[in-house]
Amino acid sequence: MGGLSGSGIYSECCFTSSNAFNIFLTNSIVFFFLSLSKGWVTCVCPCLTFARNAEIVDEGKTSAFTAGRNYLVLCNFVPLLGATLYGCTYRSKLRRRFDLPEQPCSPCEDCCVHHLCCFCALCQEHRELTNRQMDPRGGH
């Protein structure tokens, strides 16, 4: 498919195929309001979106309540790096679970994305799980 090197949260944009462009639109970090309600929920209460994502990424080993509580505490008590490091850990787990390449700035991209725009990152991760028929809202 032309310049499309993979699927998922790290897909590149390929304008030679409308299918590839649709994949880019649904998984690109810049389209975090693609699901408007999820975008607003994440902006108002990012710990809720994080909790739902984390429960699935951890395959139920961490409950949504525990993950959300930890994220909320880290956001409030270690605001600059706490939630960033916790969020990028789960983003990395998601990437490894689905064998998604880390692009474009390899070793530190997960942390950079969560630090620079945690709302975009959380919505993108939620969308990735939803696109793989895993429902973060229900914890499956």
What does the pLDDT look like over 2-50, one tens digit per residue? Answer: 333 444 443 333 333 333 334 444 455 555 455 666 778 888 889 999 9
Q: Are 123 and 49 in contact (CB under 8 A)?
A: yes
Q: For residues 33 and 109, what is the distance between their CA atoms, to the nearest angstrom?
A: 21
Dist CA 60 CA 40 (whole Å)? 25
Tell me the whole-structure pTM to 2 decimals.
0.71
**Structure token digits, residue 102:** 């880390």
Q: How far apart are CA 118 and CA 58, in angstroms?
A: 19
